[in-house]
Amino acid sequence: MNHDEIDPGVIRREAAGEEFDVPVGDIRKRARRIRTRRRAAALLAPLALAAVAASGYATMRADEVSPNSVVCHAEPRTIGDQVVVTSNGANPIEVCAGMWRDGDVNPSVTEAPDLLACTDEAGVVRVIPDDGDASCSKLGMQDLPRGYDESARRYIAMRTELVRRFKAAGTPGTTPADEACLTRDDAFTVVRTTLDREGFEAWRITAHDGGPCWNFLSFDDLGKTIGIHSSDPGMEKLPYSTS
Amino acid sequence: MQDTWDDFEAFYEETRSPVFRAVLTASGAQRHDAEEAVAEAYARAYLGWDKLQTHPSPAAWVVRTAFNHRISMWRRSRREVRATRDTPVTDAESLDGGLTELIARLPRGQREVLALRILLDLSTEQTAAALHVSEGTVKTQLHRALAALRRQLSVHEPRKEPA
């Protein structure tokens, strides 16, 4: 056979002869089982919601959900293979769809399935594949709150601006241009003014003393706290970290 | 209700083997998994038959649902099924399962077009409507799929030098 001449007929011949022998009665029985499962799920859903309410897991607001990262799950459950992605402010489903397409969630699958964005009781965004039966409530989670995308965009904008201003405030002539080396008071002032200007007035600042050079930040988005950290100037350091 | 069942039964008898062949060949599933996925998809089709009858191609809907179900099954088992068959292929010109294996490596979009356009023998227009894409996309995906298969086959089989 000349493979340069592959045509649709070759593919049809490859599949030829395969028959599907399942009797139609079995399909009907299977349909009844699916219907029973769906009815049971519908009956149990209010109980699950009641349990959630009883446990104090009230409906979350957008600003109570972590905008810092998104967890992309390979299966419609909260355990198993998962990829944690630092958020860039994009919609979580778009973020995870990109990870699926790149084969980062499952190397054998490079097409994004239908996806569902939920938030767990800790406020972590979890994106699960939707096989048609999946729902956030079945997995003990909530739907992503309305307004999350806007809230996440504001947070990412604040984070980016804070890092930019922190670096720009580094002592000129004494440190490399891409590093900050601030006094404690200067570091505090830069962070406070940026938070206030970006609309994050309620956020707190904590100082972690480790040396004379205040040169990196940490972001606790769920605790609504920015950490300012100091170290010896010669130590290897990260520009900022998230937690 | 009986009319609905009769309609569905006629649809099932007419389409079940072409649908199964499309899913088995283009999804990369083993025979047992493909049977499970197709049976599940038909059962869901029956439950939604009233609405599905107005779909541009109910058979295409079943194929896509079976594809989705297969991915779901994979997630449950946390393994990727290899594109091999339990049943030997009897066609003299077949490639001993090699072609099926190569098809399974194509991106899902290309495999879906291959399944609907070639194995289910839908028109470009019907395929586009079933997949919610443009006819141009269907043509492009099909061209890419066939070109990729040609390339892979020529890589797998060493080219003979002329005597």
Beta strand residue intervals within A102-203, DSSP E: 115-119, 125-129, 142-143
Burial B12-32 (b: 16+ CB within 10 A, else e): beebbbbbbbbbbbbbbbbee
Distance in Å, alpha carbon of A25 to nearest chain B alpha carbon: 9
| ipTM associated with this complex | 0.72
Rg over CA atoms, chain B:
17
The separation between CA A212 and the C-alpha centre of its own chain, rounded to angstroms, equals 35
Residue B108 and residue A14: Cβ atoms within 8 Å? no
- B44 CA to chain A: closest CA distance, Å? 6
A172 is written with which tokens? Answer: 């000129």
B102 and chain A: CB distance < 8 Å anywhere?
Answer: no
Model pLDDT for residues A46-73, shown as the tens digit of each residue: 665 565 555 445 567 777 788 877 888 8
Cα dihedral sign for B147, B150, B154, B159? negative
Per-residue pLDDT of B65-97, as tens digits, reads: 887 776 544 444 333 333 333 333 333 233 334
Tens digits of residue pLDDT in A145-181: 888 888 888 888 898 888 888 777 765 544 444 456 7
CB contact under 8 A, B16 and A31: no
Q: How far, CA to CA in Å, does B59 sit from each of A24, A155, B92?
A: 15, 46, 29
Q: Does the predicted model carry a pTM greater than 0.80?
A: no
Is the CB of B147 inside 8 Å of chain A's CB atoms? no
